[in-house]
Chain A
Amino acid sequence: MSEIQKGIVEELNLTFGEFSGMGRIGTLFFQLGNKEKARQIFEGLVEMDSENADTHSALGAVYLSLGNEEKALRHLVKSLELNSEQIAPYVNLAQISIRRFKLLEAMNFLASAIVRDPHRTHPGANRARAMIYGVQKIISED
């Protein structure tokens, strides 16, 4: 965290719960279809704490939904550098790889997501499983 970021958090007396609460509002905007406002909220949160893996993951997902793959990539990769055990960034990276016709790369990302969810409960990992299901059907039909 930079000195400015530390300063903001101290002067606001902002708790981790409150920071997460802001993230939930950003997520809500996204779920309600307002991706621009979601982007602005998560960009602000990344400004406040550039070492928060969840925020980079969320911002990457928002950029992906907005069609900005380059910015999505930057934040998704950063989120995994900060916390390689997250699942959603791998699934979103797989999506980008599929769009770029890099199928092996996509499979490796999906594998990374699935292996982190042995109990098959994580929605992101199940999305990865759904993508594997689709790839298998398509490849085997040809």
Chain B
Amino acid sequence: MNVEENKSKTDLAEFYEGLGLTGFGIMVRTGFENAGFEKDDILRIVEMLSQDVSPEAIKSAEARLPLGRYSEPKTPEEIPGIGKGRTTELLKKLQVLNKEKYGGKLDKVVLAFALAVEAFEITTLYDKRAAFSQFRNLRP
């Protein structure tokens, strides 16, 4: 195997790892080996679908994939959603409803809105462990 082929195989493995499919090659090979009488159907579908695969499509998929990386940290002003004021208002209403009318049945909903308010109240939405891990990957 020459250097280019080796690099290509490494890139492919990393690419699928970024999809959350570590060991993609092994899983596909095992699935194909175990497929029995379905192998012809698999080959037919792959042949048909692969005609739809273009370099642009792969590039687009690569561009959108985090490949194990995470987005840049956000400041409260950059957070999409419904705004801090309205989120806080909804949280307070939910807390009252949960307590006085629904007997705790809205706990999960209250938690969701509390987390949304938290998103505005902390300086960034940085998950520090994820960020550290990301930067560690970038070290030479």
A interface list, Cβ under 8 A from B = 4, 7-8, 11-12, 14, 17-18, 21-22, 24-26, 28-29, 31-34, 37, 40-45, 47-48, 64-65, 95, 98-99, 101-104, 106-108, 110-111, 114, 120-121, 123, 126-127, 129-139, 142
Contact = CB atoms under 8 A, between A and B. Distances in A.
Contacts, number: 199
Given A29-B125, A111-B49, A95 B73 contact: no
Given A32-B130, A43-B108, A130 B19 contact: yes
A25 B80 contact: yes
Contacts of B101: 7
A130 B38 CA distance: 22
Given A65-B20, A101-B31, A121-B60, 4 more contacts: A22-B116, A25-B116, A136-B46, A136-B47
Interface string B8-49: 000010011001110011011111101100100111011111
Given A101-B34, A107-B42, A134 B115 contact: no
A44 B112 contact: yes
A44 B113 CA distance: 8
Given A47-B109, A65-B20, A132 B53 contact: yes
A127 to B, nearest CB: 5
A45 B73 CA distance: 24
B42 A134 contact: no
B52 A114 contact: yes
A138 B111 CA distance: 45
Given A28-B125, A32-B130, A98 B21 contact: yes
B93 A11 contact: yes
A16 to B, nearest CB: 11
Contact of A107 (B46, B57, B90, B127): B46
A36 B49 CA distance: 35
Given A24-B81, A25-B119, A134-B16, A44 B111 contact: yes
